[in-house]
Structure 1
């Protein structure tokens, strides 16, 4: 898969000249990540996706690129802005949702939990090697019977002398089978708390969820914790209740606002390039009215979604972004991205169902993106409560 954007008209790529709203530093970072994706992800993603392989060899390369925990400060993290992090997510997901998901799980979930709530010892132990890609983290919140309702989690941590013992199960835990450390959320006598669990601790086991038809170049796992014994200092000292994991989820949801645009943009650019080259009835199919209508609709929604993401990022950098506003972006941008990927596939006709072209792969991945970090229905309820003042979750 090669980059097609360089051969397309400028107006087709950035119709509203949104690049003019970005600083030179933001553009430099975006172009650096885009070049990495064009060189390392797009030429290989067909093979990785077909074989359902996550390319572990790129983890340290992502560390060298500076995108692991890039929105965090100190401890070897890049300290980039929210907008810069978002632009990186957009470019990574233009390669594949699974690659952006790795960066999200590592940085927005596991590293963010340590950075927000960890002790100084926990931060020093884990954050620098995670930022370099020398250690991998995962985030254990979702359970087999507790998806959209994490408050019903059954994983339990009990006191045992000075330490803790954890028993329970987690499901759909990204990276768990290759992780060096897991952030595990468990119920205690004092409410939900987070624990830093090295994955070589006896009783911790992670099994890959196989036979997926989405996110095939990514790792999701079932995790079991059986009599996992931890020292007292394994608990995250500054996280109490569900507000801790929810704050990390909002970091990940924010990245998805941008990432989904990357999948949509790559689908659109691939379809546009194909439509300009593909001839039927003696002329390029891009000359037909119905094809142009599809392309225009895609361009409209991509440009609007970028504006939503950029405004959301500016609010985040200003420190006044609210969780319900993150839900707006996640709900809208993923919803539109999956429509764009599906519509883009139609331009390829039968060729579009092969892995030679990206839209159907993106659409399949976006089914997962639409579900994780809060389903579309959950974000509709969050927005509904914000609009009406009435919670409708129960």
Structure 2
């Protein structure tokens, strides 16, 4: 028994050494002393064989030549055989972009002082004025039903307004005639427009995300910037970007479109340039674009610019009027924004149309990956955030207005189960937007923006599905009264573009995240491909660091699991809620880092093909980021019950997702028993149960129907028409009436149910109530006005038999 106790004591000592991150020499001394002291009670530790094992391990750890011969050298040779080859496009994608807070979470030991110093972005006076002025004015011009089902396009006056007021130049600096807005301001502009019309939002967001504008800003020559950027900012040129091809969608690195370096006559002169042949599809704004940003594979078979024949993916600016360009046809993606194919046959462009000139030949894939951040981190999350907020505001209002069995449908617990999810999701989307756009101020974090694109669009899908469940027939029947059907129809577009969500989750988030965020992995792979004399010493240092890192996060995961996450409390946040949840994030960060290292160690390069496993690790990494976003956002708001309830519920959503992913990861590890062992050591008391209680579901389901600080916060970010006959305005206006009159209205319904009121119509019954002294005339007028609007808000549109024209016959006098 004493020997067993001593073994456990030694293991605990080792865990503490690694947890405390002692140096190799200090740790070796502590463990050696512990070993010898334990030998006083357990002679087995002083047995010659035991001492031989101890000193051999210490020598291997501390004596570098011995270590390189017997540990690092064999490990390096074995790993070279195990690692799969990496294509140039994969390498460029991994090298592109920057990292941010997501790297700290991957480390397993986040530096919370760094996170505490992060301040969320705020709008400048100019940005706020633009949103309050031009953006609101644009929103007032938009009718989503008209755009989708009548004109199939934005009206001409809307197109002109967008161009004249600078919406196409949000990212372009003022020096070139643009607005130069921050990523947060860009997101706010796009989301406010999206709350009114997805088509208008897409039209604005595309020139300000992946496209010639951003590529020119980062890589263009001064001549290209001076010529193109002012024209793009003023809307004199309308851009699109041709990336995806019939044979290459999400695998954009496999684009078959070609460019061949050659000499040809151009504008009366013999010039060096590129002859292009391309076929692009799914290109937003293509039907109306005047200039095309184009990605293609460049070759130089005649050696006109160097010795290499294949020069890699490059990017160019191609005026749509050049001979050989065919543009103007439209796809029909289920939404009326401009989207279509582009083809080109023997299109010649001079070298100065290559973005950045010859200096950037072959760097197109890297350029594109770095510029994907705007689309993934700003535009698509902005659309999703707007959808989440409108779902919160309108579905919450409708659930209070709509009555069944004598009460508001929002009071049924089955409905509250869905409405609580909508409430927490909308809060999460706003919080996530705030953190991700703040990250974009510091660079182009490719992994973080991939997370944002995937999880924001998936969260929107959940919000819209729950909304349709609650709305029922009111949400299904198409027509200008329907405020949800067109959003439901366009959700798959957001899921598909900027990298299909399945690909993003299963390959990109953890695949790139492991390479970009792991403290050692990328450098180790670089050392493995290095054939120089100093490769082994470099690899040895990295391997020792990696092993120490693995031991540290493994120890942190075990000890924090034993302590329920109470060890090492992060000094972060300003509330009891924050302190509690930061502890849990700290714990799960260590568990995630240790689990990821175990997967990398046991599966090696095969993890790349085990997409189900890597996707689950990516889920955990993503949810850690989202949880941090929620806490940062929560602490930035005025503390009250509404803020607490939304944040608590949304955080539980994050941890439920993490537990689900970790449980599935452990259950499906291919090495028998390994997953069960990991789950046992990291969660010795079982996986925590984060499922919201029924009381929490009821509380949040009730709160989404009530005026609150969170409702006001979300309403400030979107546009709701003041027109009571507008699809959105009708619900909002009726809700405002209900909030004011509900107490009297409930009393009126109670009197009517008891049979105390005379008359057939609401107006007659209310008059009877006035005569009996139950209400005064002002109360009566308010009840009748609300009931008329209530009925009107529940109606769906009816059409003639051909579905061509709306039949406007009222079923009851309109409000």
Q: TM-score, normalised by structure 1?
A: 0.87
Q: Deviations over 1:369-391 (max 9, x none)?
A: 11100111222121122145767
Q: Where does residue 168 of structure 2 map in the other structure? A: 68
Decide which of 141, 147, 151 is 1:48's aligned counterpart. 147
Q: Where does residue 173 of structure 1 map in the other structure? A: 283
Change in Cα spacing, 1:122 to 1:34, as seen in structure 2 (3 Å) is closer
Q: Where does residue 57 of structure 1 map in the other structure? A: 157
Decide which of 141, 151, 157 is 2:243's aligned counterpart. 141
CA distance in structure 1 between the aligned counterparts of 2:499 and 2:193, rounded to whole angstroms: 21
Q: Is the 8 A contact 1:37 1:91 kept in 2?
A: no
2:471 aligned with 1:348:
yes
Structure 1 residue 360, shift from structure 2 partner? 2.4
Q: Is the 8 A contact 1:264 1:338 kept in 2?
A: no
Structure 1 residue 242, shift from structure 2 partner? 0.4
- Where structure 1 has 5 or more consecutive residues not aligned to the other structure, the ranges are 1-19
SS at 1:77's partner residue?
Answer: coil
Q: Where does residue 482 of structure 2 map in the other structure? A: 357
2:248 aligned with 1:132:
no
2:501 aligned with 1:376:
yes
CA distance in structure 1 between the aligned counterparts of 2:151 and 2:377, rounded to whole angstroms: 26
In the TM superposition, what are the counterparts of 1:270-289 in structure 2 within 5 Å? 270-289=394-413
CA distance in structure 2 between the aligned counterparts of 1:340 and 1:50, rounded to whole angstroms: 24
Q: Is the 8 A contact 2:172 2:229 kept in 1?
A: no
Q: Is the 8 A contact 2:384 2:429 kept in 1?
A: no
CA distance in structure 1 between the aligned counterparts of 2:138 and 2:462, rounded to whole angstroms: 23
Deviates more, 1:374-383 or 1:196-205: 374-383
CA distance in structure 1 between the aligned counterparts of 2:207 and 2:121, rounded to whole angstroms: 29
Deviates more, 1:270-279 or 1:342-351: 270-279
Change in Cα spacing, 1:232 to 1:81, as seen in structure 2 (3 Å) is same
CA distance in structure 2 between the aligned counterparts of 1:103 and 1:276, rounded to whole angstroms: 34
Q: Deviations over 1:28-82 (max 9, x none)?
A: 44444652354022xx111111136221532332234433231332311111111
Q: Deviations over 1:116-172 (max 9, x none)?
A: 222223222222122122321000010001011111111111122112210020010
Q: Is the 8 A contact 2:454 2:504 kept in 1?
A: yes
Indicate the structure whose relative CO is greater, using CA pairs within 8 Å and at least 6 residues apart. 1
2:337 aligned with 1:218:
yes
Q: Where does residue 290 of structure 1 map in the other structure? A: 414
Structure 1 residue 284, shift from structure 2 partner? 2.9
Deviates more, 1:378-387 or 1:299-308: 378-387
2:217 aligned with 1:115:
yes
Aligned residue-pair number: 370
Q: Where does residue 183 of structure 1 map in the other structure? A: 293
In the TM superposition, what are the counterparts of 1:71-110 in structure 2 within 5 Å? 71-73=171-173, 74-108=175-209, 109-110=211-212
SS at 2:207's partner residue?
Answer: helix
Q: Is the 8 A contact 1:301 1:336 kept in 2?
A: yes
Change in Cα spacing, 1:266 to 1:229, as seen in structure 2 (3 Å) is same
CA distance in structure 1 between the aligned counterparts of 2:215 and 2:138, rounded to whole angstroms: 27
Q: Deviations over 1:1-50 (max 9, x none)?
A: xxxxxxxxxxxxxxxxxxx9745635544444652354022xx1111111
Q: Is the 8 A contact 1:267 1:358 kept in 2?
A: no
2:432 aligned with 1:333:
no
Q: Is the 8 A contact 1:157 1:166 kept in 2?
A: yes
CA distance in structure 1 between the aligned counterparts of 2:121 and 2:228, rounded to whole angstroms: 36
CA distance in structure 2 between the aligned counterparts of 1:138 and 1:392, rounded to whole angstroms: 33
Change in Cα spacing, 1:112 to 1:270, as seen in structure 2 (3 Å) is same
CA distance in structure 2 between the aligned counterparts of 1:129 and 1:366, rounded to whole angstroms: 32
Q: Is the 8 A contact 2:183 2:438 kept in 1?
A: yes
Q: Where does residue 321 of structure 2 map in the other structure? A: 200
Change in Cα spacing, 1:38 to 1:222, as seen in structure 2 (3 Å) is closer
Change in Cα spacing, 1:301 to 1:37, as seen in structure 2 (3 Å) is farther
Q: Deviations over 1:303-347 (max 9, x none)?
A: 11211111111121133x521011111111110011111211222
SS at 1:142's partner residue?
Answer: coil
Q: Where does residue 686 of structure 2 map in the other structure? A: none
SS at 2:441's partner residue?
Answer: helix
CA distance in structure 2 between the aligned counterparts of 1:318 and 1:32, rounded to whole angstroms: 28
Change in Cα spacing, 1:232 to 1:21, as seen in structure 2 (3 Å) is closer
SS at 1:160's partner residue?
Answer: strand
SS at 2:184's partner residue?
Answer: helix
Q: Is the 8 A contact 1:185 1:192 kept in 2?
A: yes
CA distance in structure 1 between the aligned counterparts of 2:135 and 2:316, rounded to whole angstroms: 35
Structure 1 residue 232, shift from structure 2 partner? 2.1
Structure 1 residue 262, shift from structure 2 partner? 0.7
The structure in which a higher percent of residues are helix is 2
Q: Is the 8 A contact 1:98 1:217 kept in 2?
A: yes
Change in Cα spacing, 1:147 to 1:21, as seen in structure 2 (3 Å) is closer
Q: Is the 8 A contact 2:191 2:386 kept in 1?
A: yes
CA distance in structure 2 between the aligned counterparts of 1:207 and 1:346, rounded to whole angstroms: 39
Q: Is the 8 A contact 1:342 1:359 kept in 2?
A: no
Structure 1 residue 207, shift from structure 2 partner? 4.4
Q: Where does residue 11 of structure 1 map in the other structure? A: none
Choose 1 or 2 for highest CA Rg.
Answer: 2
2:392 aligned with 1:268:
yes
Decide which of 232, 236, 243 is 2:351's aligned counterpart. 232
Q: Is the 8 A contact 2:138 2:158 kept in 1?
A: no
In the TM superposition, what are the counterparts of 1:237-248 in structure 2 within 5 Å? 237=357, 239=360, 240-248=363-371
Change in Cα spacing, 1:104 to 1:283, as seen in structure 2 (3 Å) is same
Q: TM-score, normalised by structure 2?
A: 0.43
CA distance in structure 2 between the aligned counterparts of 1:28 and 1:392, rounded to whole angstroms: 48
RMSD across aligned C-alpha pairs, in angstroms? 2.3
CA distance in structure 2 between the aligned counterparts of 1:254 and 1:46, rounded to whole angstroms: 28
CA distance in structure 2 between the aligned counterparts of 1:69 and 1:146, rounded to whole angstroms: 30
CA distance in structure 1 between the aligned counterparts of 2:463 and 2:283, rounded to whole angstroms: 28
